[in-house]
Amino acid sequence: MLRVEGIDAGYGRAQILRGVSLEAPAGRITCLMGRNGAGKTTTMKAIMGFLPLRAGRITLDGEDLGHLPPHEVPRRGIGYVPQGRRLFAELTVAQNLEIGMMTRRSPPEVLERVLSLFPRLRERMDQRAETLSGGEQQMLAMARALCLRPRLLLLDEPTEGLQPSMIALIRQVVERMRDEGVAILLVEQRIDAVLSIADQVVFMENGRVVDGAAGEALRADPGPLHRYLGV
Amino acid sequence: MDFGPYLLLASLEGAVLASVLALMASGLSLVFGVMRVVNVAHGEFYMLGAVLAWWVASLAGGSVVLGFVLALVLAPLIVGAIAATADIVVLRRLSYDPERTIVATIGLLYIIQQLTLMSYGPEARPVVAPFNTRLAIPWFEFADGGLRMYWPWGLSTTSYKLFVIFAAVAVLLGIRVMMTRSRAGLLMRATQQDREIAQAFGIPVERVYAVVFGIGAGLAALAGVLIVPIQQAHYLMGLDALLLSFIVVIIGGLGSLAGTVIAAVLIGMSEGIISVFFSPTLAKIIATLLVAFVLVFRPQGLMGKRVR
Ligand SMILES: Nc1ncnc2c1ncn2[C@@H]1O[C@H](COP(=O)(O)OP(=O)(O)OP(=O)(O)O)[C@@H](O)[C@H]1O
Ligand SMILES: [Mg+2]
């Protein structure tokens, strides 16, 4: 279980996050929602250790992450699928996956399993990542994160700009990870997607967490979704 | 002597210069490519390589070959360690901010230069080449309706100069294999492409930086060791070499190793040939003009990519 407790963080002198607290339990999908600029991506970067914490604590299964050097954070079992994919563009598909495999020295079976989730990648192992289609790039970003055998998956708008069949594939994989007991923190903007997949939802506004709701409750009354997303 | 043999001789001189330049400039290019650091102290690492070569050779005493081999191994290692330390102690604390790292490496340049002046002194000192056999080169001419081989007077090179060319080619191939085939190269390239995401996959980016800075400086030092038997070691020799390296790296495309090697051959060969036939000053003028043209018409360099 990921526990974020009252963190303040930002870029340089600009403070973005103010007292952000949230929890992402194992085997559940926690959705993080909020308008553009609310601080969702910044929250994920803070969890990954890119931004120094000015206050608060971040723990994964009780272990403090905030004091680790940034490259030690993923080694605790955190897979990050960043917004905009951010693949190693000039490296091949195989090399991008190799880097995921190296993070926690995953045994070779892990790669086989990941490729069985995304068979399209297997045909393109020697292709440079930047030449993949948008959908394939997103698969690779997911696959790279899964290669480190995550206990916690951070997914930042993994379906942005994808066609329905691709969205369905990503969603299938996310549900499968959830069933295997991975804690999932998902930034997602599409309300229908959130309603159908979320176990719980956290709403952010201007760098603060302003509300939270169980998935069940939102399916009964989606009011808060419309309120906090302003649609 | 005819024109042909003369040109061959000039090209050989140019090739020696090109080899040394390619080694040194690829160090500069590697550092810029991976770390986005413009290392103004790069010429001093070259000078340190040359000075250490003299020092090691004189400690080795009688045995010229042993001294040179030791210098070839030790100087790049020592200089690489000095550079890695400078990276950890200075550049890392500046968070690799582009402007501040330039100022910091200028400071490093003067510190290294003045410390060398204080310890090694202002003299230029030679190192004896480990082997230096004169090799005459044959040429061909048409006579009596057939091709005839002869040995023009003055057309020769030395075994040491050929060794420099081969050594540079071997090391550059080694660097290329390291970057494209090895695990270390993979970590460096991942860091180069997205430092933050590299960290998000467990790559210790700061350690990668220290190693890259060390390798870059080590390449300059190696170039320095190779050149002392031809040029002598002097505490100010870094400046000219730095200027030429910048010219090469700008023409080749900052951060592109292939471009750097191509540009080094271009600049080294033309410098060699023009200096022999005309004057070294003209060679410098042309090289500088070439840089100006590249900057105007192809700012990313021959093989460089546009900044994304
Ligand atoms: N590198 C940066 N330097 C300075 N400010 C930044 C930086 N990155 C983001 N910000 C600011 O932080 C705030 C939160 O940005 P963030 O990317 O976390 O929003 P978000 O909720 O992910 O939005 P979106 O839905 O558009 O992705 C914004 O006001 C943004 O301008
Ligand atoms: Mg975002």
Structure confidence by residue, pLDDT tens digits, B259-292: 999 999 999 998 888 888 888 888 888 888 888 8
Alpha-carbon gap: B54 to the closest alpha carbon of chain A (Å): 42
Reduce the DSSP state of residue B61 to 3 states and report it: coil
Range(s) of the domain holding residue A47: 2-77+150-229
Give the mean model confidence (pLDDT) for residues B190-202: 96
Reduce the DSSP state of residue B67 to 3 states and report it: helix
Task: Examine residue B143 and state whether it is found in any structural domain, yes or no.
Answer: yes
Please indicate, yes or no, whether residues A225 and A155 belong to a single structural domain of this protein.
Answer: yes
Confidence of residue B200 (pLDDT cuts 50, 70, 90): very high
Mutation choice for A interface testing from B201, B207, B306, B307 by most A CBs within 10 A: B201
Reduce the DSSP state of residue B229 to 3 states and report it: helix
Amino acid at A94: A
Q: What is the pLDDT of residue B294?
A: 86
Of B174, B180, B305, residue with least CA distance to A95: B180
Reduce the DSSP state of residue B1 to 3 states and report it: coil
What six digits make up the tokens of B113?
Answer: 């230069």
Alpha helices of chain B — where are they, by DSSP H? 3-35, 42-59, 64-89, 98-120, 159-181, 183-193, 195-200, 205-231, 238-252, 257-277, 280-297
Of B64 and B24, which is predicted with more confidence? Answer: B24
Please indicate, yes or no, whether residues A166 and A203 belong to a single structural domain of this protein.
Answer: yes
Of A219 and B77, which is predicted with more confidence? Answer: B77
Q: B209, exposed or middle or buried, with CB in 10 Å at 0-12, 13-18, 19+? A: buried
Chain-wide mean pLDDT for chain A? Answer: 94
CB B264 within 8 A of CB B172: no
Please indicate, yes or no, whether residues A31 and A71 belong to a single structural domain of this protein.
Answer: yes
- Residue B1 pLDDT exceeds 60: no
Is B189's Cβ below 8 Å from some Cβ in A?
A: yes
Task: Examine residue B34 and state whether it is found in any structural domain, yes or no.
Answer: yes
Residue ID of nearest Cα to ligand 1 atom 26:
A36
Q: What is the pLDDT of residue A231?
A: 60
Q: What is the pLDDT of residue B61?
A: 78
Please indicate, yes or no, whether residues A56 and A165 belong to a single structural domain of this protein.
Answer: yes
Q: What is the pLDDT of residue A158?
A: 94
Give the mean model confidence (pLDDT) for residues A18-32: 96
Give the mean model confidence (pLDDT) for residues A35-64: 96
What letter would DSSP give residue B137? -
Task: Examine residue B18 and state whether it is found in any structural domain, yes or no.
Answer: yes
Give the mean model confidence (pLDDT) for residues A34-62: 96
Q: What is the pLDDT of residue B306?
A: 60
What part of B 204-243 touches A (C-beta under 8 Å)? 204-205
How many domains in chain A? 2
* Centroid of ligand 1 to alpha carbon of A40 (angstroms): 8
Task: Examine residue B296 and state whether it is found in any structural domain, yes or no.
Answer: no
Amino acid at A117: L
Q: Which residue of B has its CA nearest to A150?
A: B201
Is B197's Cβ below 8 Å from some Cβ in A?
A: yes
Task: Examine residue B226 and state whether it is found in any structural domain, yes or no.
Answer: yes
How many domains in chain B? 1
Task: Examine residue A82 and state whether it is found in any structural domain, yes or no.
Answer: no
Confidence of residue A199 (pLDDT cuts 50, 70, 90): very high
Alpha-carbon gap: A84 to the closest alpha carbon of chain B (Å): 12
Tens digits of residue pLDDT in A84-120: 999 999 999 999 999 999 999 999 999 999 999 999 9
Please indicate, yes or no, whether residues A154 and A222 belong to a single structural domain of this protein.
Answer: yes
Q: What is the pLDDT of residue B308?
A: 45
Please indicate, yes or no, whether residues A143 and A161 belong to a single structural domain of this protein.
Answer: no
Task: Examine residue B139 and state whether it is found in any structural domain, yes or no.
Answer: yes
Check pocket membership of A124 for ligand 1, CB cut-off 6 A.
Answer: no
Task: Examine residue B302 and state whether it is found in any structural domain, yes or no.
Answer: no
* Centroid of ligand 1 to alpha carbon of A116 (angstroms): 35
Check pocket membership of A17 for ligand 1, CB cut-off 6 A.
Answer: no
Please indicate, yes or no, whether residues A156 and A94 belong to a single structural domain of this protein.
Answer: no
Task: Examine residue B293 and state whether it is found in any structural domain, yes or no.
Answer: no
Tens digits of residue pLDDT in A186-198: 999 888 889 999 9
Check pocket membership of A138 for ligand 1, CB cut-off 6 A.
Answer: no
Check pocket membership of A56 for ligand 1, CB cut-off 6 A.
Answer: no
Tens digits of residue pLDDT in A116-165: 999 999 999 999 999 999 999 999 999 999 999 999 999 999 999 899 99
The interface predicted TM-score (ipTM) is: 0.94
Cα B174 to Cα B177: distance, rounded to the nearest angstrom: 5
- Return the CATH number at A56: 3.40.50.300
Alpha-carbon gap: B121 to the closest alpha carbon of chain A (Å): 44
Please indicate, yes or no, whether residues A134 and A198 belong to a single structural domain of this protein.
Answer: no
Q: What is the pTM of this model?
A: 0.92
Please indicate, yes or no, whether residues A211 and A102 belong to a single structural domain of this protein.
Answer: no
- Residue A62 pLDDT exceeds 70: yes
Check pocket membership of A14 for ligand 1, CB cut-off 6 A.
Answer: yes
Residue ID of nearest Cα to ligand 1 atom 29:
A37
Range(s) of the domain holding residue B188: 3-238
Of A131 and A222, which is predicted with more confidence? Answer: A131
Cα B53 to Cα B47: distance, rounded to the nearest angstrom: 10
Q: What is the pLDDT of residue B307?
A: 54
Contact A99 B196 (CB under 8 A): no
Which chain B residues touch A98 with a CB distance below 8 Å?
A: 186
Check pocket membership of A39 for ligand 1, CB cut-off 6 A.
Answer: yes
Please indicate, yes or no, whether residues A18 and A69 belong to a single structural domain of this protein.
Answer: yes
Task: Examine residue A83 and state whether it is found in any structural domain, yes or no.
Answer: no
Please indicate, yes or no, whether residues A46 and A58 belong to a single structural domain of this protein.
Answer: yes
What are the Cα distances from residue A156, in Å, to A159, A184, A227?
Answer: 9, 11, 21
Task: Examine residue A64 and state whether it is found in any structural domain, yes or no.
Answer: yes
Cα A38 to Cα A210: distance, rounded to the nearest angstrom: 11
Contact A91 B189 (CB under 8 A): yes
Please indicate, yes or no, whether residues A95 and A141 belong to a single structural domain of this protein.
Answer: yes
Task: Examine residue A181 and state whether it is found in any structural domain, yes or no.
Answer: yes
